[in-house]
Amino acid sequence: MKENRIVVTGGSGMVGKSLKDIMPNAIYLSSSDYNLTSEKGVSQMYYDIKPTTVIHLAAKVGGIIDNINKPYNYFTDNVLMDTLLIDYARKNQVERFIGMLSTCIYPDKVEEYPMTEQMIHNGPPTPTNFSYGYAKRCLAVQIDACNKEYGTKYQYLTPCNLYGEYDKFGENSHFVASLIKKIIIADRNGEENIELFGTGNPLRQYMYSHDLARVIKQCIDDDITDSFNVATKENLSIKEITEIVLDAIQPNNVKGFNFDTSKPDGQYRKDVSTSKMETIIPGFKFTPLIDGIKETYGMVVSSNII
Ligand code: NAP
């Protein structure tokens, strides 16, 4: 029987590390193994490893401010990586390819929520991640085109916002990671309040990174090749999420928060439908936000990374 050789690009990132916890036998790559924005790096990777399955998680990912300041980098790095990885997968007869989109690439505004998989091109992405949004949409276009023209069974998953202990807690971090960090530091300094960007009104679906890893593994194990949204049903405001995080952490000093409304909010809402996922993976149990935050906070404190 042919050996299933699974390569995970972006193996050193948050989702890659979460996947490694449950799929330790795959080959996990970082940018120091191969620069996947270069054709030489991509062709060398396929030549060296000869994967039969590619789980493509590598991407240039960042917060709102970095996306606004470096639109060229976000577009070019992601388009190069995705285009080359898919094209070389096809040319090397790779059997399975799983690409990763993001719900923040959906249209900025639509008439009806939650958004279904068919609505991805129904309007431009939000201005705060316009370049990243279009780059990731190209990944979907290329995979669909490859399946149509070459009969491959490649797929993409579209996850909502993620959090977890493997997230970045330094500069340019995502909302939940930077919130946890802010609370830890303020609490250490004996402060009673933290200040957050924006109005607190935007709505978000948040998923524990280990839940996405379990979905990816199930796609491999059960030979699921459909493309679908991966998101929790809960669509909470930033204010509600902050309250849950404070409740999970139970800081000694920090009691509340206020919002700096001079700072940008980002997209108001981008909730996606989970109906397709429910038919493909019925009964999948997501980790409740409060439990995932407790787990994340516990790991962050015990590893002293803040
Ligand atoms: P992450 O933590 O930022 O990790 C990014 C990964 O990509 C790292 O392993 C990084 O390697 C690798 N990478 C970046 N540039 C590269 C290059 N030029 N060559 C080779 N590797 C490169 O990302 P993540 O949060 O795990 O996200 C994984 C996937 O899920 C991404 O496709 C992302 O768009 C998608 N997604 C993420 C979220 C979220 O909230 N985080 C939400 C929805 C979808 P180094 O460690 O060596 O830099």
Pocket of ligand 1 (CB under 6 A): 9-16, 30-32, 35-37, 57-61, 100, 102, 159, 161-162, 174
259: three-class secondary structure by DSSP: strand
**How close is the Cα of 35 to the center of ligand 1, in Å?**
13
Query: What does the pLDDT read at residue 1?
Result: 58
Distance CA 45, CA 40 (A): 9
Full strand arrangement of the beta sheet holding 96-100: 27-28, 6-9, 53-56, 96-100, 155-159, 228-230
pTM higher than the cut 0.85: yes
Q: Supply the residue whose CA is at minimum distance from atom 2 of ligand 1.
A: 13
Query: What does the pLDDT read at residue 145?
Result: 98
Q: Supply the residue whose CA is at minimum distance from atom 43 of ligand 1.
A: 102
Residue 58: exposed, middle, or buried by beta-carbon count in 10 A (0-12, 13-18, 19+)? buried
Query: What does the pLDDT read at residue 2?
Result: 66
CA distances, 138 to each of 100, 103, 243, 273 (Å): 11, 14, 36, 21
Query: What does the pLDDT read at residue 64?
Result: 81
Q: Using an 8 Å Cβ cutoff, are 184 and 300 in contact? A: yes
Q: Using an 8 Å Cβ cutoff, are 26 and 15 in contact? A: no
Distance CA 230, CA 278 (A): 9
306 residues of the chain, pLDDT tens digit each = 568 899 999 999 999 999 999 999 999 999 999 999 999 999 999 999 999 999 999 999 988 888 999 999 999 999 999 999 999 999 999 999 999 999 999 999 999 999 999 999 999 999 989 999 999 999 999 999 999 999 999 999 999 999 999 999 988 788 999 999 999 999 999 999 999 999 999 999 999 999 999 999 999 999 999 999 999 999 999 999 999 999 999 999 999 999 999 988 878 999 999 999 999 999 999 999 999 999 999 999 999 888
9: three-class secondary structure by DSSP: strand
Prior bond of 114 cis (ω within 30°): yes
Angle at 66 between CA 61 and CA 70, to 5 degrees: 95
Give me the active site residues, please. Answer: 132
Q: What is the dihedral of CA 255, 295, 242, 305, to 10 degrees?
A: 80
Q: What is the dihedral of CA 210, 295, 205, 285, to 10 degrees?
A: 60
Testing ligand 1's pocket by substitution, the residue of 37, 40, 57, 173 carrying the most ligand atoms inside 8 A of its CB is 57
